[in-house]
Structure 1
């Protein structure tokens, strides 16, 4: 993706988020130079911040996701009794924009429709080897109540509804009848090692630096901070 396009998406996404009364933390709006000049060690270590991905496919409008990680624990603390073992994100899934089929090895997550259109999730169970089971029913908890779907069934969440996804649930999702503001509350989030995709795709975008970044993405931190 061109950096100019990423900057445009950041501006559009921030306006969409604000339209629902959600206010981002102050560090979200720091320039790259401003972030560098702050005590950013924990932001970098916990990979908090902006994340615009097209999964390396260069087709953001068709397959992509807008994310901002507001808080996150550390993998090394998993299993501790008193530690930050949780994460929170705000995301935007555009109408008919696919977030491709994947699952996690560790993360349990609640995916919440915070407003906009319907959030549609295509769901499969994992077999004993972790692969997609295209025949088994899928059991998921929707706002505390269990729901059974056929393999590949579509779960449609209206604003205010949520689903809990465990590591044995494969999922893809997109917006229907409009863009969707999505909340995510989960155990520690690790986008470097804990995303298992059905197809051989990347997790982050390849960036063409045609202009200066408006804000750094989490994928910029290793080279810019």
Structure 2
């Protein structure tokens, strides 16, 4: 993706979120220069990979296959493994109309996916077999706002604004905005986007960036190069 396009998406996303009354934390609006100057204060932000995240999954087709995300808080795997401390994470996401977030599952993370507003959120789901592979025949047990449901393999669950589903490790899922753009909340156990995303197709989690202009804000995938 071109950096100029990423900058546009950031501004569009911020406006969309604010239209629902959702406000990002102050660090979201730091410039790259300010983050460099204040690097000593930002260890918790950088280490937890909090901040802006835009992906086209390395395919260069953001409008058709992509996702906007912002990680607002994230705990540590050590706390999760130890059973205490900061064992949780929170994201806000935007899935555009018919913009696919491709089929994947998680190894560790359990997550609540919440339609926070806008259009409907469509989620296509499968269960894993004993080896973690996508099972095209097994039923898919889920919990929607505290109520158990059983889907058939490949069913599409549609969430209206305010509705949610709990996805556990091994639940294969792909999602998109149905009928328009949708604001999505994610409340989960500790998030690790470097190792905990298993995609059905051989694609990447992050975008390859063409630096055709300066960044307005850094993405979490920029931290290692810009803030080392």
Per the shorter chain, which TM-score range?
over 0.9
Residue 28 of structure 2 corresponds to which residue in structure 1? 28
Deviation at 1:80, TM superposition (A): 2.0
Tell me, what secondary structure is at the counterpart of 2:10? Answer: helix
Residue 127 of structure 1 corresponds to which residue in structure 2? 129
Deviation at 1:177, TM superposition (A): 1.0
Residue 42 of structure 2 corresponds to which residue in structure 1? 40
Residue 181 of structure 1 corresponds to which residue in structure 2? 183
Residue 104 of structure 1 corresponds to which residue in structure 2? 106
Superposition map of 1:64-79 within 5 A:
64-79=66-81
Equivalents in 1 of 2:24, 2:115: separation in Å? 17
Q: Deviations for 1:23-58, whole angstroms, at most 9, x for unmatched residues? A: 100000000011222211110100000000000000
Residue 139 of structure 1 corresponds to which residue in structure 2? 141
**What is the alpha-carbon root mean square deviation over aligned residues?**
0.7
The answer as to 2:148 corresponding to 1:150 is no
**Which runs of no fewer than 5 residues in structure 1 stay unpaired?**
none
62-71 or 33-42: which moved more? Answer: 33-42
Tell me, what secondary structure is at the counterpart of 1:136? Answer: coil
Deviation at 1:148, TM superposition (A): 1.1
112-121 or 77-86: which moved more? Answer: 77-86
Equivalents in 2 of 1:198, 1:170: separation in Å? 8
Residue 204 of structure 2 corresponds to which residue in structure 1? 202
Equivalents in 2 of 1:146, 1:10: separation in Å? 36
**Which runs of no fewer than 5 residues in structure 2 stay unpaired?**
none
Residue 119 of structure 2 corresponds to which residue in structure 1? 117
Which one of the candidate residues 215, 218, 226 is aligned to 1:216?
218
Deviation at 1:143, TM superposition (A): 0.3
Residue 80 of structure 1 corresponds to which residue in structure 2? 82
Equivalents in 2 of 1:165, 1:97: separation in Å? 20
Residue 4 of structure 1 corresponds to which residue in structure 2? 4
TM-score, scaled relative to structure 1:
0.99
Q: Deviations for 1:162-214, whole angstroms, at most 9, x for unmatched residues? A: 00000121000000111000000000000000000000000000000000000
- The size of the alignment, in residue pairs, is 225
Equivalents in 1 of 2:26, 2:180: separation in Å? 28
Residue 53 of structure 1 corresponds to which residue in structure 2? 55
Equivalents in 2 of 1:74, 1:57: separation in Å? 30
Tell me, what secondary structure is at the counterpart of 1:13? Answer: helix
Tell me, what secondary structure is at the counterpart of 1:215? Answer: coil
Equivalents in 2 of 1:17, 1:34: separation in Å? 24
Tell me, what secondary structure is at the counterpart of 1:78? Answer: helix
